[in-house]
Homo-oligomer: A and B are copies of this chain.
């Protein structure tokens, strides 16, 4: 078997793991909002797909180990002793009620690529390693990128193992329960390159009809939690002039963040996005002038200065609401991550691989976070994106056309060859 067939088989098979009724989906017209995929770290379904992937790794001739945080590594040695390896992979956990491509495409794509090289008797001078990162999604332990954060030393091992899921079970117990808590702490000193294939999770490739995206940088991200406090009052008896309506002030924030981010894109050609995704009104009765509103703002840009500019101008705007509406405001910043540039060298190799295969590609930024952004802080890292139909992800309706998955696989195989041949 070759081409897309074997990879498609793996994805269809594992796409039934964690889906109600274990339904196997081969075509997008079989998708339904009722039957998404749920495989949080530590679940029975997470163990099942790990076991499945380990079997596939062994069939591809890989020697399998896992580390103390449950990251799985499958290794094929290289012909030249002493060279750093080429690592390739993604994750197999999922959000709740998500799709069958997010993470799994990168893992089974990597396994298939390595198997292909084996079948072609390709001589890889560098070792090849397939990696499955633990807990990329926050669905179980409320923190993203867990496995890669421990691997790169950003999060201490014991701190990660002590994290609890919503039932109060620690990651330590969850890994023990699955049989995936190893003893060693893996480091990246013997790794030269990392490459992750993933669905775009946005609409750009799909809308443009471009099958391959080459990620140059992963966006910076800031979350702002804003509380606006006015005066709760009777909507019928409080004249317009005498109000301190927290929602009227909050509406200005929604409008401003959207407008300013849009303007920045137009003025600077930037990747800026600004979103008020969460908004809660108190007491939230139709006949009560809102006394308090909480907003959750998400600001991202691959350019750190743009991100910081949008944060600052938004903070200024919110503080000015106090005088305009006689309200009080409070701003918290629970998360701020700087943008991460990926390796120019790996980007070139991916680009050349696509060109050699005659597959159209474009350089782009990733607006979502990935394990690759952690790894990129330590070693030369690249990412290959394939189109998400209508840009949908983290949804049961998430889909990538098989023809696009195949192009992604071909570019990945070619890239692994280039990176490992010397």
Contacts and interface: CB of A to CB of B under 8 A. Distances in A.
Given A254-B251, A298-B286, A235 B369 contact: no
User: From DSSP, what is the main secondary structure of chain A's interface residues?
Assistant: mixed
Q: Size range of the interface on A?
A: 35 or more
A203 B238 contact: yes
Contact of A265 (B237, B240, B276): B240
A248 B258 contact: yes
Interface string A260-304: 011001000001111111111100111111100000111010000
A285 B289 contact: no
A103 interface: no
Residue in A202, A240, A254, A290 whose Cβ sees the most chain B Cβ within 10 Å: A240
Contacts of A247: 254, 276-277, 279
Interface string A224-251: 0100000011111111111001011011
A367 B242 CA distance: 14
A237 B277 contact: no
Contacts of A236: 201-202, 219, 221, 273, 298, 300, 367-369
B286 A242 contact: no
A196 interface: no
A368 B202 contact: no
B285 A258 contact: no
A242 to B, nearest CB: 5
A61 interface: no
Residue in A225, A254, A391, A394 whose Cβ sees the most chain B Cβ within 10 Å: A254
B237 A262 contact: no
A265 to B, nearest CB: 5
A355 to B, nearest CB: 25
Contact of A254 (B248, B275, B276, B284): B248
